[in-house]
Structure 1
Amino acid sequence: MNPWLPTAPCTPGVCTGHDGRVRGRPAAAALLLAGCLCIMAGALGAPFVALLGAARRERLIRRWAHGVVRAFGVRVRIVGGPAEPAGPPGTTGTLVVANHISWLDIPLVAAVFPGRMLAKSEIRGWPLLGPLAARGGTLFVERDRLRALPTTVRTIGAALRGGSRVVVFPEGTTWCGRGPGGRFAPAAFQAAIDADAAVRPVRITYRTTPPRRTGTGRAGHNAPAEHNEPPEHDEPAGAAAFVGDDPLVASLWRVVTAAGLTAEIRVLPQIPTAGRADRRDLARRAQTAVANESANRPPESVHH
């Protein structure tokens, strides 16, 4: 691994615990199968979807991506204004930037902002997800080759100028979702400046339903303690985190066995790039916007 590449202190052993409700093996296996079949259906149908008009294609991709997350047993919550439709041919696209926690981030963002993902080249070899990403126009990059960075910036800029919506996770690696996360690398923001494309930040959060507690009624019998429970989404969902050297299969199984997961995507105000020449300032603004959405969400980061 190149020492200049971003790294996170998150590890599977520390960050992926789940203290909530757990599904039994048969139910979890059924969800795993359903999720994989949903992804496979998308891969097989991609050539036919490409023949549709832009508006119908975008609606269908949103519904399919939403269905993928739900098929794995994860509820979806979208907060913020509705996503603006992709512009007509000849208009500049939008750079969508988000924090990065899980492989679930990809269909979650696509459920709101279908677009061309920027992804590390290793994803091309993933089962099911890799072929689907390639057919969906994913822009694969060699993360270990810093010399390829100018080419990556030009590729993103060309896609934006061509009217594509490009989705980037500027942290460059996954974090567990506790605390502020990583620094937004400025390279993709240079492409937005070059193409005069607006930046749309979004915040991704995974929450879990706390385990039910029981209380004692006045007659001495155990009774449900719904009124004593913390809010439903009070705990960060470590089960959704896909960090460090975590195998994809292990992460898939952890997601389907953890009951009560909710994926939230919060659409934040658009940041114009007109008149901006400093990609680092633009990256800091987007990072601050995303981080501020979690400023009042306990607990504090487990990393020191």
Structure 2
Amino acid sequence: MNPWLPAAPCAPGTCAAHTGRTRLRPVAAALLLAGCAWVLAGALGAPFLPLFGPTRRERLIRRWSYGAVRAFGVRVRVTGAPVPPAGTPGTLVVANHISWLDIPLVAAVLPGRMLAKREIRQWPVLGPLAARGGTLFVDRDRLRALPATVRALAAAMRGGSRVVVFPEGTTWCGRGPGGRFGPAAFQAAIDADATVLPVRIGYRVTGHGAAAPAERHAPAGAAAFVGDDPLPASLWRVVRAAGLTAELHVLQPVPAGALPDRRALARRAQRAVASESANRSPESVHH
């Protein structure tokens, strides 16, 4: 493991506990089967995506991604600035990173080419699905590979692709300010003269009746996928957690050329994502 890699203090035993209502085990098991079946169906259908035009392909990806989150029993809530229309060229979407759910959540709203660690390529079902979806994989243990990754990101944005990056470099539980945004991807946005679109991801446990609005302010540990947490354990925690809601807050875009360099651009995006305004609960625009 490279000593320069970011590391979060979050651990499964202390950060990923769920203390709210839980679903009955048979119900949770049914959701787990439904979610896995939905992911498998997406993997089987992915080779046929190139047969469709860009607009229809993006619509299908959004619907499948939204369905994947819902199939695991998680509600979806999108707030904030208007979502850029399909076909908006040269956009770098940057978000905080909490869970494996972040990937289908962002794709349900802003589908694009994801940047992911190389290890995900080896995951069963999800790895091949990510590769077929145009994911750009990075070897985080080889710093020498970073310039090539930046060039690949810039080339994708110059070609009109929307690129999605989690610049914290690792997952955090979502209860604190999160990690520092690494500047490398922002250099790619500058090189491509792209627009940076920050988004804030959060997970809340919502209840029924009058208590629901207050409960939305409590982060949901069930969604956190941190440290050496096994994926099966995380999947089970998610389907067992009743009332789990994934929230994506779209912030104002920032032209990459508006800041003097990549570090200033990274700090601007990080402050926007971590700000209290991104954590409020305005009217939902998508359920």
Asked if Structure 1 and Structure 2 have the same fold, meaning a TM-score greater than 0.5 normalized by the shorter chain, the answer is: yes
Task: State how 1:89-104 maps to structure 2 within 5 Å.
Answer: 92-104=89-101
Kindly provide the CA deviation profile for residues 146-186 of structure 1, in whole angstroms up to 9, marking residues without a partner as x. Answer: 11111110110111111110000000000000111000000
Give the conservation status (yes or no) of the 8 Å contact 2:69–2:75.
yes
- Give 2:124's aligned residue: 127
- Give 1:289's aligned residue: 272
1:42/1:181 CA distance change after superposition, 3 Å: same
Secondary structure, counterpart of 2:164 in structure 1: strand
Given candidates 131, 136, 139, the residue that maps to 2:136 is 139
Give the conservation status (yes or no) of the 8 Å contact 1:207–1:235.
yes
1:127 CA displacement: 1.6
Greater alpha carbon shift after TM alignment, 140-149 vs 44-53? 44-53
- Give 2:284's aligned residue: none
Kindly provide the CA deviation profile for residues 220-244 of structure 1, in whole angstroms up to 9, marking residues without a partner as x. Answer: xxxxxx5567624132100000000
1:115/1:295 CA distance change after superposition, 3 Å: closer
- Structure index of larger Rg: 1
In 2, Cα distance between equivalents of 1:27 and 1:14: 26
**Does residue 164 in structure 1 map to residue 161 in structure 2?**
yes
In 2, Cα distance between equivalents of 1:229 and 1:275: 40
1:209 CA displacement: 2.7
Q: Supply the AA of the counterpart residue of 1:135.
A: R
- Give 2:106's aligned residue: 109
In 2, Cα distance between equivalents of 1:82 and 1:28: 34
In 1, Cα distance between equivalents of 2:201 and 2:273: 9
Give the conservation status (yes or no) of the 8 Å contact 1:121–1:141.
yes
Give the conservation status (yes or no) of the 8 Å contact 1:114–1:165.
yes
Q: Supply the AA of the counterpart residue of 2:193.
A: D
Give the conservation status (yes or no) of the 8 Å contact 2:93–2:164.
yes
Give the conservation status (yes or no) of the 8 Å contact 1:55–1:85.
no
Kindly provide the CA deviation profile for residues 80-103 of structure 1, in whole angstroms up to 9, marking residues without a partner as x. Answer: 234223437xxx420000000000
1:25 CA displacement: 1.4
- Give 1:278's aligned residue: 261
Structure 1 vs Structure 2: percent identity of aligned residues?
76
Give the conservation status (yes or no) of the 8 Å contact 1:80–1:267.
yes
Kindly provide the CA deviation profile for residues 246-268 of structure 1, in whole angstroms up to 9, marking residues without a partner as x. Answer: 00111011100111100000110
In 2, Cα distance between equivalents of 1:71 and 1:275: 40
1:24 CA displacement: 1.4
Secondary structure, counterpart of 2:254 in structure 1: coil
Task: State how 1:248-267 maps to structure 2 within 5 Å.
Answer: 248-267=231-250
- Give 1:46's aligned residue: 46
Q: Supply the AA of the counterpart residue of 1:33.
A: L
**Does residue 20 in structure 1 map to residue 20 in structure 2?**
yes
Secondary structure, counterpart of 1:22 in structure 2: coil
- Give 2:175's aligned residue: 178
Given candidates 146, 149, 167, the residue that maps to 1:152 is 149
Stretches of structure 1 that go unaligned for 5 or more consecutive residues are: 213-225, 298-304
In 1, Cα distance between equivalents of 2:135 and 2:277: 28
Secondary structure, counterpart of 1:157 in structure 2: helix
Task: State how 1:203-222 maps to structure 2 within 5 Å.
Answer: 203-209=200-206
In 1, Cα distance between equivalents of 2:195 and 2:248: 19
Secondary structure, counterpart of 1:202 in structure 2: strand
Stretches of structure 2 that go unaligned for 5 or more consecutive residues are: 281-287
1:112 CA displacement: 0.6
Give the conservation status (yes or no) of the 8 Å contact 1:193–1:277.
no
1:135 CA displacement: 0.5
Secondary structure, counterpart of 1:199 in structure 2: strand
In 1, Cα distance between equivalents of 2:14 and 2:256: 39
Give the conservation status (yes or no) of the 8 Å contact 2:206–2:212.
no
Give the conservation status (yes or no) of the 8 Å contact 1:36–1:128.
no
**Does residue 268 in structure 1 map to residue 242 in structure 2?**
no
1:46 CA displacement: 1.3
In 1, Cα distance between equivalents of 2:222 and 2:178: 17
Give the conservation status (yes or no) of the 8 Å contact 1:171–1:182.
yes
Q: Supply the AA of the counterpart residue of 1:94.
A: T
In 1, Cα distance between equivalents of 2:55 and 2:279: 37
- Give 1:67's aligned residue: 67
Give the conservation status (yes or no) of the 8 Å contact 1:209–1:234.
no
* TM-score normalized by the length of structure 2: 0.93
Q: Supply the AA of the counterpart residue of 2:44.
A: L
Secondary structure, counterpart of 2:43 in structure 1: helix
Determine which structure has the larger helix proportion and give its number. 2
- Give 1:219's aligned residue: none
1:274 CA displacement: 2.5
